[in-house]
Amino acid sequence: MDITVRDITTDPALEVCAVAGTGGLDRPIRWAHVTELPDPAPWMRGGELVLSAGMSVDAEGRAAYVRRIHDAGCVGLAFAIDVWMEEIPEEVLAEGDRLGLPILRVEGGTPFIAIVEAVADHHAKERAREQSRVLGAQDSMARAALRSGPSGVMGELASATAGACLLLDPNGLTRLAVPEGEPEWHALVRASVQGQRSRGMTVLADGEASVLLQSLGTTGRTLGWLAVRHTEPASPHARMLANHAASLLAVDLMYSRNARRALFRERAPHLRAALEGGDGRVLPPLPEPPWEVVHYPCPAPEAALIRASDALPDLLGPTEASERVGLCTLGDALVAVLPATGIPRTGQRLLEALEDLSEGPSAAGACGARSPAELPAAVDRARQAATDGYRHADDSDAWSLLRENLSAEGARAFGRAVLGPLREHDVRNSTDLAHTLRHFLDNSAHVEATARELGVHRNTLRGRLRIAERVLGGDLRQARTRLELWTALYLEPMRCYDGSWHR
């Protein structure tokens, strides 16, 4: 809380009263300064209560003197009575009223030093109160860290700073926000941390508000980022609180990271035995099946295991979920047993998290498994699929195998032989019989279903099919004709215009 000019006039220990410019009595005083200079303005920084005996205020420049004090940003002008002047000149009072600059009368035996001490004592007590509040907030954050972890620390920090807090993972994704939600300033913070490698605290401008951005961790890879938003410029005490919170969060993350690493090291031999076809009764805790078994070949599987254990909380969320996975080294590869998810799969996301690791994996093969008995076979299929990038064995069905083993030139020749006359007819007559045939074959040669799908009358569809048969010289009732057409139609979209293949 600031000390104001009004506080000086109401202090019972001081004999000071306002005699002009009373509209500015609530201005905060930064400091009280005694001067007898004719023009003290160049020596002021703003926020001062100027104390003077009036020795340098000449009769012709009284109003100008008050204006200079006002223009310098001072909050008030106090004159001692019965020292140099018996009364404050009318010109001074009038100018003070005009500018709204408080003009004070210091009477009796009140020395200027008493006013200076009153201001200094207030600021000293305010600093002591602020430091006490900071120490109390730091203590509350420490207790919250022991009681409820990062969420407790973030809650106490938001309360102590009267602001909003955001905790990001190393990739710039939200781990925790207080209050919850996704305000616009979150995007500002994410944009600032993208590709940032410097450590320490950065101050970001968000309109009239400020955002303190603090990296987590002092050595090695950055563990994450803490952001605190204020509606006012960041104070030193807010910086202290943000720094303290960042230390507590970093300790929690480092402890959790080290505990996770130790946990996976302890479980690795049991998982390795199960993957090699050993006793399934010693299988470590795993997610609920079905599983995604992923094989990551790399020169340094132990280093990949450590990085994978650090990345799992960011990929899977809660600590419990990230710990109920399987990680172990198997020969020259890292093997992970992960929860089966949709696209993108967890194994693919984990491969992306390992990309910046020296001697890390550049490929990954995956396979699904539904029981411990299927794990050894799943590892073998995943190993075979790990050729380039991320590949899931279950995606390689019979049709995929045919496409992958058929040359582009062979597919072009087959397509020309089957669809050549039809394509020429479509170009010559501006028709799209190939499109009609594809829908017809996809609907198992059912006329009614195809007509509904194409939005045409069934007789219109029958007419198109008769033209296609005449152009192709075949009978669509024959299974071989339909098989050749379906194969050619589905091989053709796999080619690019340059003859390369989509995979």
208 with 231, same domain?
yes
Same domain, 212 and 152: yes
Residue 274 lies in a domain: no
List strands edge to edge, sheet with 16-20: 16-20, 103-106, 76-80, 48-52, 31-34
C-alpha span between 53 and 51 (Å, rounded): 7
Residue 380 domain-assigned (yes or no): yes
Same structural domain for residues 389 and 408?
A: no
Residues 421 and 336 in one domain: no
Instruction: Return the SS3 of 163.
Output: coil
Shared domain check, 25 and 105? yes
Q: Containing domain of residue 447, as a range?
A: 403-494
291: β partners:
339, 369
- For residue 189, give the amino acid letter: V
**CA 486 distance to own-chain centroid:** 47
Which DSSP category does 501 fall into? B
- The number of folded domains in the chain is 4
Evaluate whether residue 119 is within a structural domain: no
Q: In Å, what is the CA distance from 273 to each residue of 37, 261, 282, 416?
A: 89, 19, 8, 53
Q: Is residue 264 included in any domain, yes or no?
A: no
- Give the global pTM: 0.49
Rounded-to-integer distance, Cα 222 and Cα 206, Å: 24
SS3 179: coil
499 and 412 in contact (C-beta within 8 Å)? yes
* pLDDT score, position 501: 38
Same domain, 374 and 413: no
291-297/363-369 β-pairing: antiparallel
Residues 383 and 467 in one domain: no
Residues 52, 92, single domain; the answer is yes
The predicted model gives 413-441 an average pLDDT of 89
CA diameter of the chain? 124
Task: Report residue 224: phi and psi, to 5°.
Answer: 155, -165
**R_g of the chain, CA atoms, integer Å:** 39
My answer on whether 362 and 440 are in the same domain is no
pLDDT-based confidence at 220, cuts 50/70/90? low
Kindly report the CATH number assigned to the domain that includes residue 306.
Answer: 3.30.70.270
Q: Is it the case that residue 280 has pLDDT exceeding 60?
A: no
For 43, phi then psi, to 5°, come to -100, 10
Rounded alpha-carbon distances, angstroms, from residue 200 to 112, 192, 197, 208? 45, 13, 10, 23
Q: What is the CATH number of the domain that holds 230?
A: 3.30.450.30
Least confident segment among 380-394, 449-463, 468-482: 380-394
Q: For the segment 234-247, what is each residue's pLDDT rounded down to a tens digit? A: 678 888 898 899 88
Residue 138 forms part of a structural domain? no
Query: 118-129: per-residue pLDDT in tens?
Result: 999 999 998 888
